[in-house]
Structures are given as structure tokens and as C-alpha cells.
Amino acid sequence: MASHYRRANGTYCVRVSNGLYGGRQQLVSATFKPRHGVSRSVELLRELAEFERKFERAVHDGLYVPGAKRQVVDPYYGEMPLATFIEDHYFPRVEDKLSQNTIRFYRAVCNQFLIPSYGKLRLCDITHHHLQDFIDFLAYRTKRRDGSSRKGLSPASVKRYATVFCSVMTEACRYGFLEENPLRHDSITYPKIGQARLEVYTEDEVKAFCGALSEEPPMTRLLLLTPLLLGLRRAEIVALKWEDIDEERQSLSVNKSAYKIKSHRQGLKSPKSLHGNRTVFYSDTYAKALAAWKDEQEKIIAKQGAKWQEQGYIFTTDTGNMISIYTPTRICSEFQKRHGLRHLKLHGLRHTCGSLLVAMGTDPETVREILGHDSVKTTDIYLHPYDKAKKKAADLLDAAMEEIR
């Protein structure tokens, strides 16, 4: 049972028994400071009783650490404004757990939306209605102050932005700032995410693409064959080193990816997903392109002399440095324009690789391993056959029906 007494400065000392030690009762205490403007005795006593209840529960649950500079649970934490929690507690706790790009995105969402809209609210005052309002604001067209309209975000983007709000409140619960997450509610509704059509090259377009590559310099040829034949992501391509190649086995080890944060230098990190660390085997066609670029790179090294800074990267600048993470995208776009090919994003070449593998009868689990997906569900997007295959299947069914008749 908690007890309290009033100090001369107007605060209250709340004491709770923390069990016996050496035959003597151990008391722990916390200070309750009435909110500014609370003068009515009934309201003050109600808040004091609530403070006592939370403090007693924290002590009995073993979450209160006497003498610690920062308590695991503090009865005042729920009174903390959201903005204060985000800046002083949330980001310091998660910045070592998330990638730098993710942290940059989370900060942008917090600074642009969460803090301006909900920053002054106490953690304990935030409810699932605030999350629903946030989702609706992002999803639907709204008017700006200048009278112009703002187009709503895509369902996938809405989900991504809302995840930041949920993450903030989850951390508040995990470290005892709140007893339960108010955003976890069955009534929350998100815009329905439809199945987007996968943008890939047709079989004829792949043949035209590969034919045009034969006219390109060795580096361009190898760089564009890497996502098309091996299914690598852009960041994985940029991070490749010669030490990752096993020429005897004709295999390539994917064990890192490049990242770039605005106004910061480019660096390396672990692959995007758990199964991103993988070994991919390549064909003779890719082996020839690899050898051609290696010979060409050796000529460049000899020509550059002391200017060359050897770092072991496969795709390099003229001085041996890792290429920009945006370079493959630019090379792909310029290549398509030069040869009059249909524009397809660089990542579309990776999608084309997955779709071709499935169309040729490769089982989904093998495709998952090649592309580095964590789940076969992600690989399922490649299970749609090409339109030509759909038409062929329809013709076969039609022919079968004719025989039955």
C-alpha cells in the first residue's frame, strides 16, 4: 500500500514498500509534482492516487531501480510530450538498430508530420484515433493553405508513414513510458493495397536488349547483365568486389550493399534482407563479359598509374573508387535511349530475371534464393506468366474443349 506526505514546496513524497531486506522493510520513494493550474483538491487527489497506483505497480513488477539515473519505469513518463519523447528517448534508442537510410526517413516523417501535429500531446493522451486521422490525412486529397490541393499518397506509402508513428509508440511501451500501446486497435483501417502489375521486358525485348549490349563498352555490358542474368539489386551491384568472384565455380558472393545518405559519403552495409547474403552462379555468357571488363580495367589501371586508388571494386570510376549508387540507373536509362528500347527501370531488369526464371520452370524456392528474398511470398509476384504464355494456355484449353465436343 502506497503512502504519501506533502512537502513544504508543494510536492508530494510517495512511498511504497519494496519487500524485506535483513529483516527490515525497504521503502522506495518518488516525487509527485502537481500539474500547473491544478488547485482543486478533488482533481489533485485523483491525480495523486493515479501516480501512487502506477508507482506501486512499477515497484512490485521489479521495474523500478532505486538510485538509477534513468528509471526503467517512471510514473511521470506518460505525462511526457510526444515531441520530447521522440527527440530525447526514441531516436537515441533506435538509431543503432536501424539503417541510416531508415533513420533519415523516420526523422523526416517525425519532423514533417508527427511533431507539428501531435508533438504537444502527452504520451498518455494519444489514442488510436490520432493514428486513424494521420492515415486519412495521408491517403486522401486535401487542400493546402494557399488553396491548392495535395494529392493523397499511395496505399503502400501511407502504410510506410504510419509505421513510423506505430514504431514510436511501441518503443514508448517497450521501455515503460506507457503500459500499453494505444495505436494497437482493431478499428484502424488502411487504404487497400492493390496488386501492382510487374514491369518487365518481354522475351522479344530481352533478346533486343542483349543484342544491343554487344555494341556497348565492356563495363556497360557487364553492369547491365548483372541484374538481368543474376537478379542483383542496384546497391549490391555497386558494392561488388573482385574478391567476391569465384571463377572456378563460376559463382558470385553477395555479402554487402552500398548506401548513400544525402550530404553524406557513400558507404557499405549488410545486404537488405536476412537472405541477402547469398551465392549466385553465373553462365558462360556472364563469364565472358566479366573477363572482358577485367582485361579492360587492367588497361585503365596501367594508364592511370599513380592516380589509381586500388580498392578492389568491380565497377569503378576512372581512379578506382566505388561508383555512385546512382550511376547504374543513369547508364541503364542512357543505354535504352541510345538503342530505342522501351524504358524500364534498372530494378525492372531484376524483375525480368525473376519472371524469366519462373517462366522457364524454376521452382519458387530456388528463385527466392537467387534473388535473396526472405520469404517465398515475395517471390510469388513473379509467378504470373508472360502474356504470350497466357494466350498459349488459353489456346490449349480451347483446343481441348473442341476435342470434347
What are the CA-CA distances from residue 71 to residues 65, 149, 403, 405 (Å)?
6, 47, 79, 80
Q: Are 176 and 120 in contact (CB under 8 A)?
A: no
Positive or negative, the CA dihedral 305, 307, 309, 312 is negative
77-174, what's its fold? DNA polymerase; domain 1 (1.10.150)
Q: What is the pLDDT of residue 119?
A: 93
Beta bridge partners, 150, equal 142
| The predicted structure's pLDDT at residue 393 | 53
Is 342 within 8 Å of 205 (Cβ atoms)?
A: yes
Grid cell listed for 42: 478533488
- Among 372, 122, 116, 54, which Cα is nearest to 230's? 372
SS3 186: coil
- How much is the pLDDT for 396? 57
Domain extent listing, the chain: 3-60, 77-174, 203-389
Q: 77-174 with 203-389: one CATH topology? A: no
Mean pLDDT, the chain cut into blocks of 10 residues (405 residues total): 83 81 74 71 81 78 52 55 90 84 92 94 92 92 63 89 95 82 88 76 93 96 96 96 96 92 78 83 95 97 94 96 95 97 95 89 88 78 56 56 50
The pLDDT assigned to 109 comes to 96
203-389 CATH choice from 2.70.170.10, 3.40.50.720, 1.10.443.10, 3.90.230.10: 1.10.443.10
Minimal CA–CA distance to 123: which of 149, 86, 164? 86
Question: Nearest CA to 315 among 346, 340, 344, 339?
Answer: 346
- How high is the pLDDT of residue 389? 55
CB burial readout 209-226, b (16+ within 10 A) else e: bbebbeebebbbbbbbbb
Q: Computed from CA positions of residues 333, 334, 335, 341, in that sequence, does the dihedral angle turn out positive or negative?
A: positive
pLDDT at 89: 86
